[in-house]
Structure 1
Amino acid sequence: MGVVSGVVVFVIIWWLVFFTMLPHGNRPPEEVEEGMEPGAPEKPRLWKKAAITTVIALVLLGVFMFVQDQGWITFRGNPFDKPGQ
Protein backbone atom coordinates (compact mmCIF):
# COMPACT_ATOMS: atom_id res chain seq x y z
CA MET A 1 0.00 0.00 0.00
CA GLY A 2 1.34 3.39 -0.94
CA VAL A 3 1.44 6.50 1.19
CA VAL A 4 -1.59 8.09 -0.46
CA SER A 5 -3.62 4.89 -0.14
CA GLY A 6 -2.62 4.61 3.51
CA VAL A 7 -3.69 8.18 4.21
CA VAL A 8 -7.03 7.66 2.47
CA VAL A 9 -7.71 4.45 4.40
CA PHE A 10 -6.71 6.18 7.66
CA VAL A 11 -9.08 9.11 7.02
CA ILE A 12 -11.97 6.76 6.25
CA ILE A 13 -11.31 4.67 9.35
CA TRP A 14 -10.86 7.83 11.47
CA TRP A 15 -14.24 9.29 10.47
CA LEU A 16 -16.05 5.99 10.93
CA VAL A 17 -14.62 5.58 14.43
CA PHE A 18 -15.23 9.26 15.28
CA PHE A 19 -18.92 9.08 14.36
CA THR A 20 -19.33 5.95 16.48
CA MET A 21 -17.56 7.67 19.42
CA LEU A 22 -19.72 10.82 19.39
CA PRO A 23 -22.64 9.56 21.49
CA HIS A 24 -20.47 7.91 24.18
CA GLY A 25 -20.31 9.74 27.48
CA ASN A 26 -22.82 12.45 26.58
CA ARG A 27 -25.27 13.58 29.19
CA PRO A 28 -28.17 15.96 28.61
CA PRO A 29 -28.00 19.27 30.49
CA GLU A 30 -29.73 19.41 33.87
CA GLU A 31 -31.26 22.79 33.11
CA VAL A 32 -32.45 23.65 29.63
CA GLU A 33 -32.20 27.36 28.97
CA GLU A 34 -34.38 29.24 26.53
CA GLY A 35 -33.16 28.85 22.96
CA MET A 36 -31.06 25.79 23.82
CA GLU A 37 -31.59 22.47 22.11
CA PRO A 38 -32.72 20.01 24.82
CA GLY A 39 -30.85 17.12 23.16
CA ALA A 40 -27.50 18.94 23.04
CA PRO A 41 -24.88 17.40 25.35
CA GLU A 42 -23.70 19.38 28.35
CA LYS A 43 -19.98 18.69 27.78
CA PRO A 44 -19.32 16.96 24.43
CA ARG A 45 -15.53 16.56 25.06
CA LEU A 46 -14.73 16.56 21.34
CA TRP A 47 -10.95 16.89 21.77
CA LYS A 48 -10.83 13.84 24.03
CA LYS A 49 -12.97 11.87 21.58
CA ALA A 50 -10.76 12.97 18.66
CA ALA A 51 -7.63 11.81 20.51
CA ILE A 52 -9.15 8.43 21.37
CA THR A 53 -10.38 8.11 17.79
CA THR A 54 -6.88 8.77 16.44
CA VAL A 55 -5.37 6.02 18.59
CA ILE A 56 -8.08 3.52 17.63
CA ALA A 57 -7.79 4.44 13.94
CA LEU A 58 -4.00 3.97 14.00
CA VAL A 59 -4.39 0.52 15.54
CA LEU A 60 -7.05 -0.47 12.99
CA LEU A 61 -4.89 0.87 10.15
CA GLY A 62 -1.99 -1.24 11.41
CA VAL A 63 -4.20 -4.33 11.51
CA PHE A 64 -5.51 -3.57 8.02
CA MET A 65 -1.99 -3.10 6.62
CA PHE A 66 -0.77 -6.33 8.29
CA VAL A 67 -3.67 -8.34 6.88
CA GLN A 68 -3.16 -6.87 3.43
CA ASP A 69 0.63 -7.43 3.49
CA GLN A 70 0.09 -11.07 4.50
CA GLY A 71 -2.08 -11.55 1.44
CA TRP A 72 -5.14 -12.62 3.39
CA ILE A 73 -7.11 -9.84 1.67
CA THR A 74 -6.24 -8.44 -1.73
CA PHE A 75 -7.73 -5.65 -3.76
CA ARG A 76 -5.77 -6.44 -6.90
CA GLY A 77 -7.05 -8.39 -9.85
CA ASN A 78 -10.52 -9.48 -10.85
CA PRO A 79 -12.35 -11.43 -8.13
CA PHE A 80 -14.34 -13.28 -10.81
CA ASP A 81 -11.28 -14.82 -12.46
CA LYS A 82 -11.10 -18.57 -12.03
CA PRO A 83 -7.85 -19.99 -10.59
CA GLY A 84 -5.45 -21.27 -13.18
CA GLN A 85 -6.54 -19.00 -16.01
Structure 2
Amino acid sequence: NLSILEAFQDLKDKLNKPFFMEIIILGSWAIWISRNNKIFEHINPSFEGWKFIYLEELKLLRYRMKKKHHPNEESWKESML
Protein backbone atom coordinates (compact mmCIF):
# COMPACT_ATOMS: atom_id res chain seq x y z
CA ASN A 1 0.00 0.00 0.00
CA LEU A 2 1.54 3.30 -1.12
CA SER A 3 1.30 6.41 0.99
CA ILE A 4 0.12 9.56 -0.73
CA LEU A 5 3.67 10.92 -0.87
CA GLU A 6 4.94 7.67 -2.38
CA ALA A 7 2.11 7.72 -4.92
CA PHE A 8 3.01 11.27 -5.96
CA GLN A 9 6.69 10.37 -6.21
CA ASP A 10 5.80 7.33 -8.32
CA LEU A 11 3.66 9.48 -10.62
CA LYS A 12 6.42 12.09 -10.85
CA ASP A 13 8.91 9.39 -11.85
CA LYS A 14 6.55 7.97 -14.47
CA LEU A 15 5.69 11.33 -16.00
CA ASN A 16 9.31 12.49 -15.89
CA LYS A 17 8.31 16.07 -16.73
CA PRO A 18 9.41 19.29 -15.01
CA PHE A 19 5.77 20.40 -14.90
CA PHE A 20 4.32 17.20 -13.39
CA MET A 21 2.57 18.99 -10.51
CA GLU A 22 0.77 21.27 -12.95
CA ILE A 23 -0.38 18.16 -14.84
CA ILE A 24 -1.89 16.76 -11.65
CA ILE A 25 -3.46 20.06 -10.57
CA LEU A 26 -4.98 20.71 -14.01
CA GLY A 27 -6.39 17.17 -14.07
CA SER A 28 -8.05 17.82 -10.73
CA TRP A 29 -9.25 21.23 -11.89
CA ALA A 30 -10.83 19.66 -14.98
CA ILE A 31 -12.66 17.18 -12.70
CA TRP A 32 -13.89 20.11 -10.60
CA ILE A 33 -15.15 21.97 -13.68
CA SER A 34 -16.89 18.78 -14.90
CA ARG A 35 -18.54 18.46 -11.50
CA ASN A 36 -19.70 22.08 -11.60
CA ASN A 37 -21.01 21.60 -15.13
CA LYS A 38 -23.09 18.68 -13.85
CA ILE A 39 -24.49 20.64 -10.91
CA PHE A 40 -25.04 24.04 -12.50
CA GLU A 41 -25.34 23.37 -16.24
CA HIS A 42 -26.85 19.85 -16.08
CA ILE A 43 -24.14 18.53 -18.42
CA ASN A 44 -23.39 14.89 -17.75
CA PRO A 45 -19.69 14.32 -17.12
CA SER A 46 -17.72 12.12 -19.50
CA PHE A 47 -14.12 11.27 -20.10
CA GLU A 48 -14.20 13.12 -23.42
CA GLY A 49 -15.63 16.21 -21.72
CA TRP A 50 -12.96 16.04 -19.02
CA LYS A 51 -10.24 15.59 -21.65
CA PHE A 52 -11.47 18.61 -23.62
CA ILE A 53 -11.41 20.81 -20.50
CA TYR A 54 -8.00 19.44 -19.51
CA LEU A 55 -6.42 20.11 -22.90
CA GLU A 56 -7.87 23.64 -22.98
CA GLU A 57 -6.36 24.33 -19.55
CA LEU A 58 -3.01 22.93 -20.74
CA LYS A 59 -3.06 25.47 -23.58
CA LEU A 60 -3.35 28.26 -21.01
CA LEU A 61 -0.54 26.77 -18.91
CA ARG A 62 1.81 27.22 -21.85
CA TYR A 63 1.76 31.00 -21.29
CA ARG A 64 3.26 30.51 -17.83
CA MET A 65 5.76 27.85 -18.85
CA LYS A 66 9.39 28.54 -19.68
CA LYS A 67 10.03 28.29 -23.42
CA LYS A 68 12.57 25.53 -22.89
CA HIS A 69 9.72 23.27 -21.67
CA HIS A 70 7.41 23.92 -24.65
CA PRO A 71 8.65 20.93 -26.72
CA ASN A 72 8.17 18.62 -23.71
CA GLU A 73 4.67 19.95 -23.14
CA GLU A 74 3.73 19.60 -26.82
CA SER A 75 4.92 16.01 -27.08
CA TRP A 76 3.23 15.07 -23.83
CA LYS A 77 -0.03 16.77 -24.85
CA GLU A 78 -0.01 15.02 -28.23
CA SER A 79 0.36 11.67 -26.48
CA MET A 80 -2.94 12.44 -24.71
CA LEU A 81 -4.81 12.81 -28.01
- TM normalised by structure 2 equals 0.43
Larger helix fraction of residues: 2
- Where relative contact order (Cα < 8 A, 6+ residues apart) is larger, the structure is 1
Larger Rg: 1
- TM normalised by structure 1 equals 0.41
